[in-house]
């Protein structure tokens, strides 16, 4: 499932990057993290966290929030936490992701959920 999750996050990032809306990166550890930095507002980054251990063959468990990019990088570069755990940099939780949701391994499903909250992605 790690490969399916990684492909899902890469495909979504590629879609938004091709539209000129984000710059992105993927970090793989225990969980898989996508960071989509908004080009119109580079101080903001969408953090999508996917949980291979809570996913199954048909669906991925994901969670997302908005973070302040500069604060996130300051925390990350301090070495205090691993990528994805820069909780103090959170500026907005996404209520439609609650404590994590199950979505199919279809980029359209993740894009739809993100675009409900982040209007700059439309």
- Domain-wise residue ranges, the chain: 2-121
pLDDT (0 to 100) of residue 70: 97
Report yes or no on whether pTM surpasses 0.75: yes
How many Å separate Cα 101 from the centre of its chain? 13
d(CA 75, CA 79): 7
Is residue 99 within 8 Å of 63, Cβ to Cβ? Answer: yes
The 10s digit of each residue's pLDDT in 45-104 is 999 999 999 999 999 999 999 999 999 999 999 988 888 889 999 999 999 998 899 999
Q: Give me the torsion for CA of 82, 63, 107, 118, rounded to 10°.
A: -100
């Amino acid at each position: 499932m790690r490969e399916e999750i990684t492909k899902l996050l890469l495909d979504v990032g590629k879609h938004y990057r091709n539209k000129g809306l984000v710059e992105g990166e993927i970090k793989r550890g225990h969980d898989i993290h996508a960071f989509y930095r908004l080009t119109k507002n580079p101080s903001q980054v969408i953090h999508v966290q996917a949980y291979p251990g809570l996913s199954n063959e048909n669906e991925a468990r994901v969670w997302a929030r908005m973070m302040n990019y500069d604060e996130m990088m300051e925390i990350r570069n301090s070495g205090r936490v691993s990528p994805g755990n820069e909780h103090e940099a959170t500026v907005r939780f996404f209520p439609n992701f609650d404590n994590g949701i199950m979505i199919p391994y279809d980029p359209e499903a993740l894009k739809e959920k993100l675009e409900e909250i982040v209007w700059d992605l439309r």
